[in-house]
A = this chain, B = another copy of it.
Amino acid sequence: MSTSVGKLTPMTVQRATPKSIRTRKAIETAARELFCTNGFERTTVRDIGARAGIDPSMIIRYFGSKDALFAQVAEPNLQLQDLDIIDMDGIGEALVRHFLAQWEGEQAGRGLPVLLRSAASNDDAAGRIRDIFQEQVFPVISRAGPPETAPDRAGLVATQLLGLALARYVLRIPPVVAMSSDVIVKTIGETVQRYATKG
């Protein structure tokens, strides 16, 4: 949900007819897939248009620019609020399981793969990932240990979770790809648990 249909782009005013809604959604879906697969730089407006089955010029008309489209599409919401009520003894495994589900699920983290794929090429993609961890991961980790070590603990958790995503979904290192979710949750969960609580 929340593809923010009502959110007007700062350009040509445009009514939200049923058809325009479908077109906008088609563009966003195609953009997400291509940004995620090829990263920001290697994805062209023309490619997105072709995949969405609409004219490339419509993309500019709807979103104003390629950058604006990327910003619209790369808004990860890790939905970690679900974990707030979990007891801290299982925070490690819970975090890993949650992340795997986010990456492999239908919504695919709503943008995290897109960002990670483009973090090296898009100017602010790295900054957005930083924001995500500060705003969404840090608060959760904070409560799992002494407050004064919270930044370090959150940072360590970030290295392991991002490294897992990088190796499994971007670089596709064979044994990491082949590993079952259960093994990952158990093995890496133990690491995350230690990072989150003891640092």
Contact = CB atoms under 8 A, between A and B. Distances in A.
Determine chain A's interface SS by DSSP, over half rule.
helix
Interface stretch (A19-27, A55-63, A148-156): A148-156
Contact of A158 (B121, B167, B183): B167
Given A42-B41, A42-B121, A162-B163, A126 B168 contact: no
Report, as a range, how many residues of chain A touch the other chain: 35 or more
A160 interface: yes
Interface stretch (A8-16, A73-81, A82-90, A173-181): A173-181
Copies of this protein, total: 2
B155 A167 contact: yes
A37 B121 CA distance: 10
B191 A160 contact: yes
Given A151-B174, A155-B175, A162-B171, 14 more contacts: A41-B121, A42-B121, A120-B170, A126-B171, A129-B171, A129-B173, A151-B178, A156-B188, A158-B163, A159-B168, A159-B176, A163-B166, A163-B167, A191-B194
